[in-house]
Structures are given as C-alpha cells and as structure tokens.
Structure 1
C-alpha cells in the first residue's frame, strides 16, 4: 500500500501498474490521482475511445470485464475507472460481495493493455485501509493507494492553488490560516473558497473575512465527538478523542469545549421544553437552522439529569488536570469512560 506522494513519484518515473485501488475520504484528491494516471497513459485525442468510466453503485462484473477486455483503439493502453465502487466496502450486500469475489479472481488475469482503477470513499474519518479486510486481500494482486491527508507544506500550497484556479490570489499567511480552519477535504475546501471569493468580491482576502465565513475545524471535531457519545459509539469516540489530543495537545481547551457543548445541549433542551422551535433557537444562538436541527436531535438522546451529570464529570476532570500531576491523556480517556457509564 502506498500514499499519494509515492504514487506521484512512481508515475513520474513511468512506473504505472496494471490495476489500482484508491481509497480515502477526499474524493477531489482521489480524482486528482485518477487524472494523474490517465493523463500520463492515454492520448488526449483518443480519450473518448480509450477511457471508460463505470458507476460503482450500479455496474455489474460483466460490465467491468467487457470494458477491460476490449482492445484499445489506435493506442497501447486503455483505462477503465470504476468510481464509488460499493463492492469494495468492508460490509456490503450479497450482490456486491459477488462482484468483489469475481474482481478478486479477475485481477490476476487482467489484460496487459488495460489499466483498471477502482475507488471508493470511507464513511468516517477514523476509517483506514487496514481496517478493511477486502482491501487487505486486494493489496496482494493490485496496487492500493490510500489518499490520506497531505503533508502540511503541500497542503498549504494546494489550498493556494484552489484560489488561483478560480482567478483569485490569496496571501500565504491567509491561505495557511484558511487551511487550518477549514476541514481537510478538498471537496469542502473548494466550496468554502468559492464562498470567500464571492464574499470578498475582488477585494483582498483577510483573516476577518475567513473568520466570518469559516467555523473552526476543531469545533466540528468536538461536535462529532458529542454525536458519537449520543449514539453510544464508545470505541469511535475514544479514537476521535485520541486524534484530537494528538493534533493539538491542548487538553484544557478540548475538555472546556466538550463541557461547553454539553452546557449548550442542556440550555437548548430547556428552551425546547419551554416551547421554542428550531428557528427561535437558531436565532438565539446565531446558528444555521440545519446545525440547530442536529443539536436538537442530540438533545433528544439525553435527559436533563444525564446532561447535568455529564457536565459534572467534565468539571471534575478539568479540576483534576488543573490541580494534580496526573497523566492528562489517561485522565481524559477515563472521563470519556465515565461519560459512557451515565445511565
């Protein structure tokens, strides 16, 4: 298994495999990987004849095999791309399982003139190829490429390129600031960049503009953590907490944000019980309606007594971190354990 950086290096050396499995959360990044191979193997003038795309949600194994077996027209290579290949997901229905089993066998006999690229998207940012048994098996007969987050310098540069491709210059400091605030997913990054470009309307982009339009990505992570707690998904919640601590190493800030989120849920529950609707709550907290809908949904998974207890647990942990020399990460994980014990 390799990453995007290694893939780029291999393509530059003209080391291109017969088949690839692409996976990750960022479809825009994956599409760049697909274009990288296609543009280096298929003649642009013959693209319509030697480049076939199949929808992985609806295609059959016969469709895939027929596309791969057809000889290239006036060229050495042809490419077949199966996008959003549902049959590569770890848990699928019987139909997709059958396609996967056929693909696994067929890859050993893939024609030398065909480059087959299949990709699928993870559902969750805590997913990775090592957790997928199908990917482990495919890694023995195909080249698996995991499109994880880009390294910092490259990530910042690519964010600048997103603005430039839309005819807008952004300063390096502002680009880095934007990159740290937005979720690390280029589908989202492009939408948020479009929003800022439209808002600034030809003016220079400033940090104030970014603050007005982009919420902190750390706030999104805390929201996700509370959501996992509300769904009683303990293992995923611990994984996310560990990821947050690894990224920022700011234990006091994280626990304060968790406590404030429970406090907000407590307040919203009281407002809901007093007859306020979602629009009223959205206006009070100056939040988009769809965010308030999610918050109200979270509220409904706790009662008042539970929310009070959750705030107490956070406060107790915060005091321990301030007044004693305990292992902070271990104490935070223990806090999460105690939260899941609340009935």
Structure 2
C-alpha cells in the first residue's frame, strides 16, 4: 500500500472560518507546514529518519526542511566531511549510495542531499529503492523531486518502511489561498476575518514565504490581540505590493472587462509600475497564443507543450493555459499583442495616464467581436 505522508495535527483549528472557507481547506497532505512540523518533531525527539523524500514545487518549505536537518546533523567546521550535495542529472545513483554507506567523521550522522531526482531514469531510481530496504542508520538522505505529481515514479513513493518519510511541498492553488492563509495564521496564533484573508491572499499570491513573513509582522503588530481585521492587513502591507500574474489572468480568461479594469486600477494605484503590469499581460497573451498554436499542430500532451514553450514554463501553468486559450481566437490574441507593443511605446513616451493606456489594451482584447469564439459570446 502507498505510504501516507506523516502528519502532525495542529492544536489550533480554524473553526472561526465560514462554512465556505472551511470547505476550501486543503487536504493535510498538501499542507507544507505539516511536512515542516514532521521534520522539526523528529529533530526535537532525536529521531531523524534515514530517508526523507520531498516532492512538489514549494521551494521555501524545502529550504526550511533541509536547513533544519543540516543545522542539526552537521557541526560547524565539519561540513566538508559530513555533508554532500548532489544534482541527480549529474550524478549516478551508485555515487549517492556509496556516500550513504560511508561512515561519518566525528559525528553520529552524515547528511546527504540530492536535488532534481525526477531526472533519474528508471534504472537509477531502482538502485535507490533497493537502498530503501535497509538504509544506513549513520546517514540522513534527502531526495528532492521538483514535480507536481508523483504517480509515474512508482516504487519511490510506495515504500512501506517506517524509515522512509514522504513529505509533500506543494504550493496552494489559487482558490485555496484564503483557507490556506487561514490555516497558516491559526498556526501562527492569529485569527483573520474573511475580508482580511482575501486582502492578504491578494497581496501574497501563492508565495508561502511572503505569507509567513506578513503573518509574522501581523503577530508583532497585533501584540496581545489575535483578532486581525482587514484594516490591520491594509495598514501593515500598505499599498505597495508585487503584481501576482494570476490576479490579472483570472479576469482576462473570464473576459470580465469591468473586474479586470478594477484590478488594473487597484494595482496601479498601489504604486506598481505600469510597464511591469503590461509585461505580465503581454506574456500571458503570448502564452495563450503559443498553446493555441501547439494544440493546432497536434501537440496535445501538456509535458510536451511545456518543453516546446521553453523558458521553464511549468506544467501546471500549461494545464491552465490549455483551458483558458478557448476564450479567445488566434486573431484576437495576435491583435492584442500588436496593441500591447503600441501601448509599451506610448507608456514610455506619452503624457496620457497609465491607466487609460492599459485600459485601452484590456477593452480591445475583451470586447466581443466577430472573431470571438462562439462558446464565449
């Protein structure tokens, strides 16, 4: 049977969330804070496991887990002897296993970290799974898979050994953000009302490191009072924030002109650069056009589309684009890219208000015309 990731329930439960938000609460297996808690508990109890398998694309959680283990296991000045760091693409499995079976120097354990393990082929992975049957008690091996799903890696994630701990490190989905932040806030000792959750989600996007940083600031700001309202979040975050691409993409793909223009105005009023915002919009339009073109040429597999698009376009982004491209025709998207180029020139040299220029692009893109797909008319 597939081993379920070890989890440690928090003492605090977000009972104060509305039924709607509680329905959105993330499966415990997706909650990166549980993975961090598992490792921290192992360290506190002096029961660090021989093998940890990390998977997902949330880098902050992975860095926190690896950092905690390294500080605990590797003494200062002994890193050259008791810590080894590999990339699977450049390293044979046998090299890693030889390191695992080498005794530590003047320490109880060695710490070995292998990144991008998804790049090992089946033969290499099989050698590692053989090691799982009898892992060295003198080594802590961390294997990192930078993937969204693990089904195709078979036995790597089917181990029934108590020595192997599988720890998910995934980013929350867009519609999970308020509930996710609510859970994270509860673990920080804060209770955010629904408006505060929405505003903080709008501010941070899926950047978990930023979420935690803002919650820590709120904890200090509300010293002695765990009730956080939207006014507190706005006062602390101010109006300066990064543009989260999904904010704009959601309204564009839904062809919701009024909502999109409101979002544009809010972002520009916060002090964000109009050029940065235009680049985000232009990139999204270009990605939609790329996906539409690849699908038309018969490329249906999202992994192949991801590779063809280049520039490290994640598979989960491609999956969203494969659904969203149907909202527009190729003619509309090509026309929008031309308008975006004109808008870029005007932003750099025109006296017109930035909002007016961006709004012109948005309204021309989202306006229904004879080229608009029938499915969205």
Find the counterpart in structure 1 of residue 342 from structure 2. 280
Note if contact 1:180-1:217 (Cα within 8 Å) is conserved in structure 2: no
CA gap 1:207/1:266 in 2 versus in 1, 3 angstroms: farther
Query: Are 1:143 and 2:208 an aligned pair?
Result: no
Look up the SS of the partner of 1:74 in the other structure: coil
- The equivalent residue for 2:56 is 24
Q: In the alignment, which residue of structure 2 is the partner of 1:214?
A: 243
Describe the SS at the equivalent of 2:142: strand
Q: Which runs of 5+ in 1 are unaligned?
A: 89-95, 160-172, 191-203, 245-254, 288-298, 300-304, 316-343
Whether 1:184 and 2:206 are equivalent positions in the alignment is yes
Q: Distance in 2 between matches of 1:75 and 1:144?
A: 25
Indicate how the Cα distance of structure 1 residues 35 and 77 shifts in structure 2: closer, same or farther if over 3 A, else same.
same
Residue-by-residue CA offset, 1:266-320 (whole Å, 9 max, x unaligned): 4442467xxx597336447989xxxxxxxxxxx9xxxxx9x9352x2113xxxxx
Q: Which residue in the other structure is 2:74 paired with?
A: 42
Partner of 2:125: 100
> What are the within-5 Å matches in structure 2 for residues 1-343 of structure 1?
1-2=4-5, 3=29, 4=32, 5-9=34-38, 10-11=41-42, 12-87=44-119, 96-122=121-147, 127-130=148-151, 132-138=153-159, 142-149=164-171, 151-153=180-182, 155=184, 177=199, 179-186=201-208, 207-210=238-241, 213-220=242-249, 222=253, 226=288, 231-232=294-295, 262=328, 266-270=331-335, 276=338, 279-280=341-342, 282-283=344-345, 308=371, 310=373, 312-315=374-377
Whole-angstrom distance in 2 between the partners of 1:174 and 1:55: 41
TM-score (norm 1): 0.54
Deviations 1:60-103 (Å, cap 9, x if unpaired)? 12321221121111111111101122345xxxxxxx22211111
The alignment partner of 1:209 has SS state of coil
C-alpha displacement of 1:32: 1.2
| Deviates most, 73-82 or 100-109 | 100-109
Identify if the C-alpha distance between structure 1 residues 22 and 215 changes in structure 2 by more than 3 Å, giving closer, same or farther.
closer
Matches of 1:138 and 1:6, distance apart in 2: 17
User: Would you say the 8 A contact 2:89–2:116 is kept in 1?
Assistant: yes
CA distances 1:10-52 after superposition (whole Å, capped 9, x unpaired): 3243332111110101223212111122223333343332111
Aligned residue for 2:141, secondary structure, equals strand
Alignment CA distance shift 1:228-1:152 (3 Å): farther
RMSD value over aligned CA atoms?
A: 4.8
In the superposition, relative to structure 1, how do residues 116 and 57 fare at CA in structure 2: closer, same or farther (>3 Å)?
A: same
Q: Is the 8 A contact 1:26 1:187 kept in 2?
A: no
Match of 1:293 in 2: none
Number of residue pairs matched? 245
Structure-2-length-normalised TM-score: 0.50
How far, CA to CA, are the matches of 1:114 and 1:281 in structure 2? Answer: 58
